[in-house]
Amino acid sequence: MPDLTEFSKNAARAVDAMLDELLPKENEEPKWLHSAMRWSTFAGGKRFRPTLVFAVADLFDLPAERVGRTAAAVEMVHTFSLIHDDLPAMDDDDLRRGKPTCHIKFDEATAILAGDALLALAFKAIADDDGLGTDIRLKLIAELAEATGTPRGMVAGQQLDILSEDKEIDAEELERIHIHKTGALIKFSARSAALAAGASVSDLAAITEYASKLGLLFQITDDLLDVTQSTDVLGKTAGKDEESRKSTYVSLYGIEHAKVLAADTKEAAIVALSHFDERAEMLRAIATATLARTA
Residues that bind ligand GRG (CB under 6 A): 45-46, 48, 78, 81-82, 84-85, 97, 154-155, 158, 181-182, 219, 222
What minimum distance in Å lies between the beta carbon of 198 and ligand GRG? 28
Cβ-based nearer residue to ligand GRG, 35 or 229:
229
Q: What's the longest Cα–Cα distance across the chain?
A: 52
Which residue's CB comes closest to ligand GRG?
45
Q: Which of 262, 156, 250, 275 has the alpha carbon at shortest distance from 214?
A: 262
Phi, psi of 109 (to 5 degrees): -60, -45
Of 33 and 82, CB closest to ligand GRG? 82
Closest CB 235 distance from ligand GRG, rounded Å: 7
What span, in angstroms and rounded, lies between the C-alpha atoms of 258 and 223? Answer: 9
CB 77, min distance to ligand GRG, A: 9
CA angle 159, 160, 164 (to 5 degrees): 115
The residue (of 69 and 290) whose beta carbon lies closer to ligand GRG is 290
Give me the phi and psi of 95, to 5 degrees please: -130, 130
| Minimal distance, residue 295 CB to ligand GRG, in Å | 8
State which residue, 62 or 74, has the beta carbon closest to ligand GRG: 74
Task: Identify which of residues 82 and 258 has a Cβ nearer to ligand GRG in the complex.
Answer: 82
What secondary structure letter does DSSP report for 180?
I
CA 242 – CA 277 distance, rounded (Å): 42
Minimum separation from the CB atom of position 229 to ligand GRG (A): 12
> Which of 50, 122, 118 lies closest to 80, judged by CA?
118
Q: Are strands 99-100 and 95-96 parallel, antiparallel or unpaired?
A: antiparallel
What angle separates helix 68-85 from helix 4-22, to the nearest 10 degrees? 80
**Nearest distance from residue 142's CB to ligand GRG, in Å?**
18
Q: Which of 150, 141, 117 shows the shortest CA–CA distance to 41?
A: 117
Nearer to ligand GRG, 185 or 282 (CB): 185
Q: Residue 211 Cβ, how far from ligand GRG at the closest point, in Å?
A: 14
C-beta closer to ligand GRG: residue 61 or 151: 151
Instruction: Quote the CA–CA distance of 34 and 36 in Å, as a whole number.
Output: 5
Identify the burial level of 44 via C-beta atoms within 10 angstroms of its C-beta, where 0-12 means exposed, 13-18 middle and 19 or more buried. exposed
